[in-house]
């Protein structure tokens, strides 16, 4: 395993939304998917995953149902709501713009008089 990146403040919510936008997932699945997409580069504090899920559910951005897991056990599956989809879209746009701006600033070579 390579060196893990620390998750930036406030980005966990966005990642969860993205993860469940690809299809309903249970909590552990969310964790796995984020790790998988990031190519194991991101480390997520397991203790903060569920509070984030509950917060998003409370805000109505994701919804949950009980269902069967891949090995036939009962598990809670989260899926994106319409409100969540809108939110994800907006957050993604914001993030991209922010990343561009920051990237542009940081890539600037020394000032040429």
Binding residues for another protein (CB under 8 A): 26-28, 46-47, 50-52, 54-55, 57-60, 66, 69, 73-76, 81-83
Query: What value, to the nearest 5°, has the Cα angle with vertex 83 and ends 78 and 55?
Result: 55
Q: Which is nearer to another protein, 60 or 103 (CB)?
A: 60
The per-residue DSSP string of 53-110 comes to HHHHHHTTSEEEEEEE-TTS-EEEEEEE-HHHHHHHHHHHHHHHHHHHHHHHHHH--S
Measured from the CB of residue 92, what is the shortest distance to another protein in angstroms? 19
For residue 35, what is the DSSP state?
Answer: H
Measured from the CB of residue 112, what is the shortest distance to another protein in angstroms? 49
Measured from the CB of residue 108, what is the shortest distance to another protein in angstroms? 40
Q: Which is nearer to another protein, 39 or 66 (CB)?
A: 66
């Amino acid at each position: 395993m390579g060196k893990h990146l620390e998750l930036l403040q406030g980005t966990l919510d966005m990642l969860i939304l993205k993860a469940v936008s690809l299809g309903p997932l249970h909590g552990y699945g969310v964790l796995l998917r984020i790790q998988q997409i990031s190519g194991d580069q991101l480390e997520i504090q397991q203790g903060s995953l569920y509070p984030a899920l509950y917060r998003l559910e409370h805000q109505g951005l994701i919804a949950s149902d009980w269902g069967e897991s891949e090995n036939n056990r009962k598990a809670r599956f989260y899926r994106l709501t319409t409100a969540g989809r809108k939110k994800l879209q907006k957050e993604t746009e914001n993030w991209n713009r922010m990343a561009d701006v920051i990237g542009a600033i940081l890539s600037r070579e020394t000032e040429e008089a």
